[in-house]
Structures are given as C-alpha cells and as structure tokens.
Amino acid sequence: MGKITVETCEIEGLKVITPAVFGDNRGYFMETYHYEDYKEAGIDQIFVQDNQSSSVKGVLRGLHFQIKYPQDKLVRVIAGEVFDVAVDLRPGSATYGKWHGVILSAENKKQFFIPKNFAHGFLVLSDYAEFSYKCTDFYHPNDEGGILWSDPEIGVKWPIPEGMELVMSDKDKKWNGFSAFTSARSTSEA
C-alpha cells in the first residue's frame, strides 16, 4: 500500500483517506483511486458512477440517502472547501443516529468513504467548491430520501460562520426529522 493513509472514525465503516501527493516545482501528482490500495484498506467496492457538483459559499446539500438502492460513496473536493457529514442509518448499529463530520478541501486532498445506509450532506465553506464522488449503484431519481439538516435529535454541529446565509433546495428545507425517519422505517419493517 503506502499510497494512501486511512483513518477510521468513531462510527464503524466511515473512513477518511489521505492520498500520497508527489510534488515538485511543476505542481503535483496523486492517484485519486486505485482499486488494490483501497481493497487492502478494507474498501472493496466496485464503483459504477462518478458524479460532480459545483456550489457557492453557504450552499448546504443534504442530508440525503437512497431508500431501495443504497450506495457506498467515496467523496472528495477538487476545488474549495466543504464540511462533509455522514449520519448512521443502519438498523441495529451501535451508532445509529450518530454523525461524523470532516473538512474536505482541494488543499488537504482528503477523501471520505461513506458506506451504504448513511445519510450524507455537506456545507460549502469557501467562495466556491467542486465536489466529486464515486458511487456503487446508479442514480435512481425516485429513490432519494432525506432528513432535515438541522434536526436537533441528530445535532450536527455545522460550522456556520456568523453572517453566512445558507442556500438550500426547497426539498432540503422540508425534510422531516430523524424521529419521523425512524418511525417510517419501523412501520415499513412491520
């Protein structure tokens, strides 16, 4: 291995990856993904789709998850800086309903591996950011669920600077809280 450093998080399955960066007076080079290195680090997934988005400062996307077609995600920022969050939605998990956040930026080049059955979201901290991610299942337009970003039961501590105006989609403003998600899940499993 040696091309990546992997940090585990207090929530099992989440991993922060820092790739080796080789730089000189011309710039730098790094491998952003190498199947064998990731497999050795315990990330043995086959990614089938890559996505990229751009956002301006204050954009908050999430907290999203897929209902019938859950995806593992490997996310990174290629321009700017975001605060990235994953919330454990795995039934029976010791950390069910807990969250973990990490700063991802073009400068630190960190990646965040988020397994299936987590809600995911991010807040753009820089003037502009480009966000890139790999997924293990294809996008299904009618399969998206969400939890309200500000739900006090989950209690994500978003690093919102004083005076920052949040920019969100209408649907992200209207998601229900964690209790409604848990209640809906219990009903569907009964």
Q: Which residues are catalytic?
A: 64, 133
**pLDDT tier at 184, thresholds 50, 70, 90:** confident
Q: What is the pLDDT at residue 189? A: 57
Q: Where are the domains of the chain?
A: 4-189
Question: What are the tens digits of pLDDT across the range 68-109?
Answer: 999 999 999 999 999 999 999 999 999 999 999 999 999 999
Using the predicted structure, report yes or no on whether residue 1 has a pLDDT greater than 60: no
Neighbours of 137 (CB within 10 A): 18
SS3 28: strand
**CATH no. for 4-189:** 2.60.120.10
pTM (2 d.p.) = 0.93
Please report where in the chains the tokens 């299942």 appear, as a residue. Answer: 137
Evaluate the CA torsion angle 187, 13, 123, 51 in order and state its sign: negative
Single-letter residue type at 158:
W
pLDDT digits (tens, 9 = 90+) for 137-171: 999 989 999 999 999 999 999 999 999 999 999 99
